[in-house]
């Protein structure tokens, strides 16, 4: 059992941190905005304009997701202090032990809330399009891309996120050349934007038996839930209707349902092949293209963002954001934040929260 002065120190520290969070997140202002939206939602004509209504619903969800953890933790802290005083006065040892355990768990919860408070990008609450592409390294790079895909799928499962495969192109010898996913979950884009860039693997190759270095690039763009106001000249597009490749149902593989759209001025290419309907694949491909074009425009307007997103460099040596080393030692280290771990297998099994949190803190410091 911790000493009373240790318990008091935890209570004071958590109280100070939660008060600071309440101010920085403008809890009062967000509460007022939620009340305003709820009043609008109670109106009989609220759903007459469905697009505007959905925008308000999404806004309220995002506001509550930031407000409720702080309010809940503050309430828990207050209750714990009150109950601990009562239990101590009555010499109720069992209750004192139970409340003490709850107090000891509070710093970790406050850590989690502080991390969430760093999700300040306007698009952080959006779902996202998530892609992995091979770089230098041949068959090893293709297998590395497949290993990364497995890592991220497991990470999505850990967070309870939904993952939909939009397209996958297999490697000639092994693994995959590229994969495009749509990821839905609480602050999916916010947590995953730190993965943008080149990921480097060093290991003994199962193909050559020698120590090899492989590269794969990850890209993440928000799946904007509102209509994207961006004009695209049809003459700038090259649209190919092709047979779907890779694993899939018999119908998917035999019909020319996949759609690949190339935007000639920007060089952006998107491919969607998950649906049997060519029309639906084209709609999703256009949505992805608009999202990538809008992200490109925003990056060009923001010099800091543009500099940071220069992580989209050549997919090879010297441009990596994170190194995964399996030989001659084991280590995963982020080149930007310095965050590292020696348990590479744990990371490849989807435990990358430490890297996500370190990136969020680093990105705020960089701003």
SS (H, E, C) 7-40: HHHHHHHHHHHHHHHHHHCCHHHHHHHHHHHHHH
What mean pLDDT is reported for the chain? 88
Does the pLDDT at position 322 exceed 80?
A: yes
Report yes or no: 293 and 236 within 8 Å, Cβ to Cβ: no
* pLDDT confidence band for 251 (50 / 70 / 90): very low
Q: What integer pLDDT is reported at residue 346 of this predicted model?
A: 97
In this structure, of 39-53, 253-267, 324-338, the range with the lowest mean pLDDT score is 253-267
pTM above 0.85, yes or no: no
Length of the chain (residues): 367
Structural domains in the chain, CATH included, are: 4-117 (1.20.58.410), 128-366 (3.30.70.1660)
312 pLDDT band (50/70/90 cuts)? very low
Dihedral sign for Cα 16, 18, 24, 27, please: negative
Lowest mean pLDDT, pick from 55-64, 147-156, 175-184, 320-329: 55-64
Q: Are 145 and 212 in contact (CB under 8 A)?
A: no
In tens, the pLDDT along 56-107 reads: 887 888 788 888 999 999 999 999 999 999 999 999 999 999 999 999 999 9
> CA 322, CA 350: separation in Å to the nearest integer?
15
Secondary structure of residue 201 in the 3-state scheme: strand
């Amino acid at each position: 059992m911790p000493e009373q002065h240790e318990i008091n120190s935890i209570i004071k520290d958590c109280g100070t941190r939660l008060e600071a969070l309440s101010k920085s997140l403008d809890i009062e202002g967000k509460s007022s905005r939620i009340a305003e939206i709820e009043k609008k939602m109670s109106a009989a004509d609220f759903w007459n304009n469905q697009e505007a209504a959905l925008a308000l619903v999404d806004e309220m969800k995002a506001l509550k997701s930031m407000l409720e953890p702080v309010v809940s933790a503050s309430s828990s802290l207050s209750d714990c202090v009150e109950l601990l005083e009562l239990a101590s006065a009555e010499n109720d040892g069992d209750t004192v032990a139970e409340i003490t355990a709850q107090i000891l768990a509070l710093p970790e919860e406050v850590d989690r809330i502080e991390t969430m408070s760093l999700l300040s990008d306007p698009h952080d609450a959006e779902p996202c399009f998530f892609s992995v592409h091979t770089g230098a390294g041949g068959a090893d790079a293709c297998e590395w891309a497949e290993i990364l895909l497995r890592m991220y799928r497991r990470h999505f499962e850990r967070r309870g996120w939904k993952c939909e495969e939009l397209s996958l192109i297999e490697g000639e010898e092994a693994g995959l050349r590229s994969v495009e996913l749509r990821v839905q979950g609480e602050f999916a884009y916010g947590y995953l934007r730190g993965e943008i860039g080149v990921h480097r693997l060093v290991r003994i190759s199962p193909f050559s038996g020698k120590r090899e270095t492989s590269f794969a690039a990850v890209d993440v763009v928000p799946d904007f839930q509102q209509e994207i106001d961006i004009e695209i000249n049809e003459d700038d597009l090259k649209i190919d209707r092709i047979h779907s490749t890779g694993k899939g149902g018999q119908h998917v593989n035999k019909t020319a349902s996949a759609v690949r759209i190339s935007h000639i001025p920007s060089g952006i290419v998107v491919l969607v092949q998950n649906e049997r309907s060519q029309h639906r694949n084209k709609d999703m491909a256009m949505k992805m293209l608009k999202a990538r074009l809008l992200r490109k425009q925003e990056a060009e307007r923001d010099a800091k963002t543009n500099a940071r997103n220069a992580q989209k460099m050549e997919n090879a040596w010297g441009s990596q954001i994170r190194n995964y080393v399996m030989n001659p030692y084991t280590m995963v280290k982020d080149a930007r934040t310095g965050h590292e771990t020696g348990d590479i297998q744990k990371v490849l099994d989807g435990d990358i929260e430490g890297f996500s949190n370190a990136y969020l803190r680093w990105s705020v410091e960089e701003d």
